[in-house]
Every structure is written in structure tokens, then in C-alpha cells.
Amino acid sequence: MGGITTGTGIGQPVRRREDLRLITGRGRYSDDLNLPNQAYAVMVRSPYAHALIRSLDTEASAAMRGVLAVLTSEDVRRDGLNPMPHIANAHPADISIKNKDGAPVDRPQHQLIVFPEVCHVGEIVAVVVATSRDAAKDAAERVAIDWKPLPAVARARDAAEPNAPRARQDFPNIILDGEVGDAAATAAAFVAAAHVVKFDTWVQRIAGVPMEPRAAVGEYDPATGLYTLHAGAGGAVSPRRDLATVLGVPPEQVRMVMHDVGGNFGTRGSLNVEFALVVWAAKRLGRPVKWTSDRSEYFVADYQARDLTATAELALDKDGTFLAMRGSNMVNQGAYAIAFGSLNKGVEIMSSLYHLPAVHFRARAALTNTLPTRPYRSSGRPEVIFVIERLIDLAARQTGIDRIELRRRNLVPEHAMPYTNPFGMVYDSGHYHEVMERVLKLGDWEGFATRRTEARARGRCRGIGVANYVDTATGAPREKVEMTVIPDGAVEVAIGTVSQGQGHETTFAQLVGEWLGVSYDCIRLVTGDTARVSVGGGAHSGRALRLGSIVMLNASNEIIEKGKDIAAHLFEANVADIEFRGGEFVVTGTDRRIHIFEVAREALQRNDLPAELRGPLQGIGDETVTLAAFPYGCHICEVEVDPETGVVDIVRYSAVDDVGRAVNPMIVHGQVHGGIVQGVGQVLMEDACYDLDTAQPMAGSFMDYAMPRADCVPFFDCELSEVPSPTPPLGVRPAGEGGTTPALAVVINAVVDALAEFGVRHVEMPATPERVWRAIRTAQQGKS
């Protein structure tokens, strides 16, 4: 029971203690759970992007062997189930975009089973439940449906056209049309500008493709009226709330249980329709019901991401000082408006970490006949950082000012902090110039010309790109923890946030272990079960460690103060003379001491303690954090392009990211590396494409949807900057999204730089070999 184990405290690169369990097959994922007498559900999905159901006949399906039920929209209506709520986790620090005409934002209701109008491929029109999955799949094919196909629209820019097909018969295609900024001041700045640069782009749609496909098991206990959902999501508390809304019962009648989650990144962060259906079916049938998705179903069932159509202009004076920025952002919501987060959180940092005196942007959300989109790693920010960093490179080309110098002249200086950007976001702190200068050295920017010459001798075109970024971390503002010191040598930490691979079992243990002076091996993390946790926003928008550290610190302090009171009674000393250090309560100036675990035992066993000191040695932290955090950094990428084939190879990648304070640098580097690779995937290959005439998804498996692999990237040169944020007690800034946020911009900047000798000014994503090859040929033809 000594003090903290050497080398496991805050700031130490401790190996993740959960990894051994996971890589040896002892993880527990949603599909690993099987309950006695469980049945199996299979979803009957629409093959059309937009259609009306003339008739739906379940008779043949219901008569098949092993079938227990075939559920339709009529059953949903009869049982009084409510639509999916899709409640947004609004944060007071984020901007709110409203319709410029003052009209309320109206969103389509998301029914569990749709009828008669289906609005994207994969919409659920019936559910078959049988004694085996194979029986359910066979019966699903026997559901007879008479369809009337309707015109469909896949892209937001097409949906915004006056004569575009309606994505829904009872809704306009544009459901949100707002404006942000000062239109008059921006217009005046553009009139006075010496240079104006314009950039039009479409940041393509991608799929989240977590390693683990979704699965769920639903239960219902008629004796207690308790519904239980076993499933992986972004958290346990909010899905429980939403499921209770769907079922029309108080939250106390719903339990959400989740164990290990094989990736989230936002697209699987909330309650899904299938989750509600298995719980409802379990009640109807009086037995547990399980559903498991496979990868093919995933591509027509799970939420997708990105899909921003943007037009932007940058105004500069003759010296390259930024005067104003204006433009339009339009997000493709898909068939339902699950959340407006990527639109709001993108627009609010369009200016990034540059000083822009005036801005004006139009912000729209479009309905289409595609799968709904949802926030995905660094929701909305990679897209807008891509826009402004491409604009700056284009401005450098147009004005003849060096692209690094152009950035230096316009970065917000340290002395301006805290800095209010033109959209109203208050950046708390940052050493933006310092971080850029560090990465320029790390990436050997000055030595690039030599590397380009060497590559040219090998017949390759080498390019280098740079991108600065700032990220906004907000998310659900409230978090809670209940910490209990257990006499047998453990500290139980029951907290509302959950891990989907971020390493909470390690980092949270490092924090609590240091604060309470015990080995981090003693820390037991309890998450993901609403029978134990009732408050918490899960893991999204960089909130888990940022908010978790605040409530765990407060709970630790409460435990220590209570422990001091107990120790004072045990030693018959003045509480002012009790110190806490190294896991022990010590009477100042003496050798009298007692370990925290012994104090916990005495609190449970002694009857002579005051009533308020008896019982478990426990601390509770419950905080609502209304301030945002602002991670930032700068990345450099070098690529080589084969001009004969268009193949792009990333040959060098350097990054400096400011995380405020790194609790575990190794885990932070892992987060940065993973984020970079996800960004690289979108830049070079990932594309959840749709047929523009039918809105049919064209990527239905990994044969169609390309994913980055280890050989797609080099070893990264990454360093951390640790300028403490002044808002949280530990000074931490989130690290999970910084790798992705600048990656789109920095890689494309490098690709365009490599192709500059051919006259190429831009390459849209994904920069596939064909697209790069065509860009070269088109530019060459334009010169001839």
C-alpha cells in the first residue's frame, strides 16, 4: 500500500493497460453477448432511394418456419412508439445558426419503420424476428412489396436548384438557410481589397467504417417493466434518454449497457433505429431479441459524414494582410437532419487561427435521398480548415507572396489572447507562430528544394504543403463521477463518459492514481451502464478527458478532505495538522500516518466517528462546463507524384500539436497518428459516392470503398506543444481530433505544389491516381 508506482503518473508514456485484454481476445463487444432463449432480428430495407410503398404483404414471410413475428409500421403505430428524437447536445459556447427569414427549423420525423414514403436506400420497412438469424434472413426475402419509384436527388448542390426533385414529398430540400457575420463590413472590405481569391470545392462524403459493425440485444422484464439495451454507442446516458422517448416511458424504466466498442468517431455516437427496434420487439415477443449488422448492411444502414459544398472568397490588401472572407457552406444532411453540428461547428471557425476583421457566410442544410450524415471526427472543422488553407495557398500564388510569409503576417499573435474570432468564438490561448516555426524546423522546410531536385532526377514530382488549424471542443457540457475508495486496495471510478478506444482505462487511472497517491493498477473504471451512471455525455467533441479530469479532480479532493477529517478523529489531532501525501494521511511533524485504504476501512467499521464521516470513503464530482477548448497546431506533408500514372505517395509528414498538457504522451501520439491516417484516407481514396440520377449508393463493400492501410503513410515526425489552457484545472486541450483537422488541407496543398510545374491550381478529393493524372493532362492541354 505504498505511494504511487514510479513512472505511471501524469505526463508519463504508460502503456495502455487495456490492450493486453483486447489483443488476446478478451474484449467484450456487442455481438459477443448472447442471452438464453434469444431471437434474431433482420431488417427489411428499401432498395430504392426514393419511392412509395403501394402495398406490403407479410403473409408468406410470417408463415415460414421459425418466424416469430414480422413487424411493420402499422405495429409501430398501434403500440404508440414515438419517432427518433435526435436531440442535439447543444453547447453554450457554440454559435447557433437560424433561418434568416425567422422561420423555425423544421426537420423530418424519423420513424422506426417507414411507410409509405422511403427516402434513402436502406430505410427499414419491416422487421423479421425468428428463432435463428438464417431463418429471419430467409423470411425477410419473402416480404412482398409493391414499389412506386420517385425522382431522387443525391447532392446538396443539386438539391438547392429551383427545379430539383423533392427529396421528400412534404418537405423543402433546404431546411436551414442562415447567415453569420457582418455583410456590410465584409462587402466594404472586398471593395477596398487589392486582391480577391475565390475557391469552390466539394468535400466529399465518407463513411465512418468503425472496425466493429454495430450489434444490439434487447430485453424486457415484465415483472419490473424495465427495458434493457445492450449495444455500443458514443455513451450510455443519452441513448437511454432517447430510447425512453421512443418507448414513451420514463428514463428510469430503461437501462443501457455497453462494454467494449470497436471504434466510433461520431457516426455511431447516438441511438440508432435498430437499437430501439430490438428492445421493442423483445417486449412484444417476451424474449430477448438480437440484431447484428454485417459490413454490406453497414454501407446502407449506418450514418455517414462530411459532404460539404463550399464557395469562399478571401480579400487581401497589397501587402497580403487579410481583410475579409465571405462565402457559402452547404451541408448534405441526407434523408434526415440528425444534427446540425458539422454546419455550426464548421462555420464558427472558418477564419481558423488567422485575424480576419470581417466575415459573412451563408449556411445551409439540405435534405437529399442519401443516408443521413452525422458528426465525424472533428465534425465540420477539417472541411473548413481545408477551405481556408487552400485559399491561402491560392492567394500566395496569385499575389506572389511566399505562402509561409503570408501565414506569418496573418496569424493571431500571442499578445492578442484571449481572442474573439469574427464569428464570436473566444480562443482562450495559443502560441500559433511558435508552433508553426517548430514544425517548419521539424519538417526541414528549408531543405525541401534539395529533396525536390533529387526526386525530379528519379522522374517524380515532389511537393510540400503546410496547414495551420484550430479546433473547437465543446460537446455535452455536463459530466459526473462517483469515486469510492475500497478498503481491499482499489479505487472505483464510476463516470458517465465512455471509451471507444481512447485509452481511458489508462489515462483516467494515471490521473486518479497520482491525485490519491495509489498505484494506477488499483483504479477500477466503471462506465457504460446506466444502472451505475446516470449523468454523462459520452465521448465526443474532445470532451472525455477534458471534462472527466475536472470531475475526477473534484471528487479526489472531496475524498482527501473527508479522509483528513477521519484521520484527525483517529489520531485525536487537529484537522489543520493533517497532511495528505503519497497516499497517506500524516500528522505534521510526527511519524503518525495512515494509508488511504486503511482510512476507508475505518470509515466503514468505526461507530465512534461522526455520522457524516461514516460509510464509504467517497467523492462526487458533477460539473457543467460552459467554456470551449481550442486545440491547435501545424502540419507539414511531402508527397511524390508519378506524372505518368498519377499515383501519390506521402513520403514525409511532420506535425506539432498543442494539447495543453499531455496526461499520457504515448496515447496522445497514437491519437494524432490515427487522426492523420483518417484524414489521409479521405484525401486520397475514401468516397461514399452515389449515382447522381438514382441516388443509389455505389460503395457497398470494401471492394468499392477504399481504406488507408499501413503502407499508405510513412512514419510520422510528431511533437507536442504544451501551452496549458487557462480554463480547465489541468490545462488540457483535447488531442483526439487534431490529427484529422489539418490533414485534408496539408495533403492537398502538397499534391498541388507537386503539380504546380504543370499549371495545376487545385485537385479535388479524393486525389485518386485517375483524378491526379487527368489534372496533369488537362493543365498541359490548357498550356498548349
Q: What is the DSSP string of 322-340?
A: EEEEEEEEEEEEETS----
Confidence of residue 89 (pLDDT cuts 50, 70, 90): low
Amino acid, res. 288: P
pLDDT over threshold 90, residue 540 = no
- pLDDT for 214-260, tens place per residue? 999 999 999 999 999 999 998 999 999 999 999 999 999 999 999 99
pLDDT over threshold 60, residue 93 = yes
Residues 44 and 127: beta-carbon distance below 8 Å: yes
Alpha-carbon span 603 to 626, nearest angstrom: 36
Average pLDDT over residues 492-509: 93
Average pLDDT over residues 164-186: 97
* Start-to-end Cα distance in the chain: 79
- Provide the percentage of residues in the chain whose pLDDT is more than 90: 93
pLDDT over threshold 60, residue 6 = no
Average pLDDT over residues 576-586: 96
How does strand 358-367 pair with strand 322-334?
A: parallel
pLDDT over threshold 70, residue 784 = no
Average pLDDT over residues 403-432: 97
Instruction: Mention every residue, 6+ apart, whose C-beta is less than 8 A from residue 580.
Output: 517, 560, 563, 564, 586
Confidence of residue 518 (pLDDT cuts 50, 70, 90): very high
Residues 623 and 697: beta-carbon distance below 8 Å: no
* Mean model confidence pLDDT for the chain: 95
Between 357-366, 485-494, 730-739, the lowest mean confidence (pLDDT) is in 730-739
Instruction: Give the containing element (helix H, strand E) for 647.
Output: none
Q: Which residue stretches of 400-542 are H helix?
A: 403-410, 432-442, 448-457, 504-516
Amino acid, res. 508: F
Q: What is the pLDDT of residue 541?
A: 83
**Is the CA virtual torsion 268, 273, 274, 277 positive or negative?**
positive
Confidence of residue 782 (pLDDT cuts 50, 70, 90): confident
Alpha-carbon span 540 to 474, nearest angstrom: 9
Alpha-carbon span 635 to 465, nearest angstrom: 8
Average pLDDT over residues 511-532: 96
The model's pTM: 0.96
Burial 199-228 (b: 16+ CB within 10 A, else e): bebbbbbbbbbbebbbbbbbbbeeeeeebb
Average pLDDT over residues 110-122: 98
Query: What cell does 359 get?
Result: 466575415
Alpha-carbon span 116 to 627, nearest angstrom: 45
- Provide the percentage of residues in the chain whose pLDDT is more than 70: 99
Nearest Cα to Cα of residue 354 among 318, 392, 399, 302: 392
> Residue 72 to residues 57, 250, 285: CA-CA distances in angstroms?
10, 25, 15
Confidence of residue 4 (pLDDT cuts 50, 70, 90): very low
Average pLDDT over residues 689-693: 97
> Hey, is 554 helix, strand or coil?
helix
How does strand 523-526 pair with strand 578-581?
A: unpaired
Q: What is the pLDDT of residue 475?
A: 87
What is the chain's length?
A: 784
Q: What is the pLDDT of residue 69?
A: 98
pLDDT over threshold 60, residue 2 = no
pLDDT over threshold 90, residue 314 = yes
**Is the CA virtual torsion 110, 116, 120, 123 positive or negative?**
positive
Peptide bond into 418 cis (omega under 30): yes
Instruction: Give the containing element (helix H, strand E) for 139.
Output: helix 133-140
Confidence of residue 90 (pLDDT cuts 50, 70, 90): confident
Query: What are the phi and psi torsion angles at 247 (to 5°)?
Result: -80, -15
Read out DSSP for 702-764? Answer: TTTS----GGGS---EEEEE----SSSTT-----SSTTTTTHHHHHHHHHHHHTGGGT----P
Q: What is the pLDDT of residue 88?
A: 64
Q: If you average pLDDT over each of 394-403, 472-481, 539-548, which comes out highest?
A: 394-403
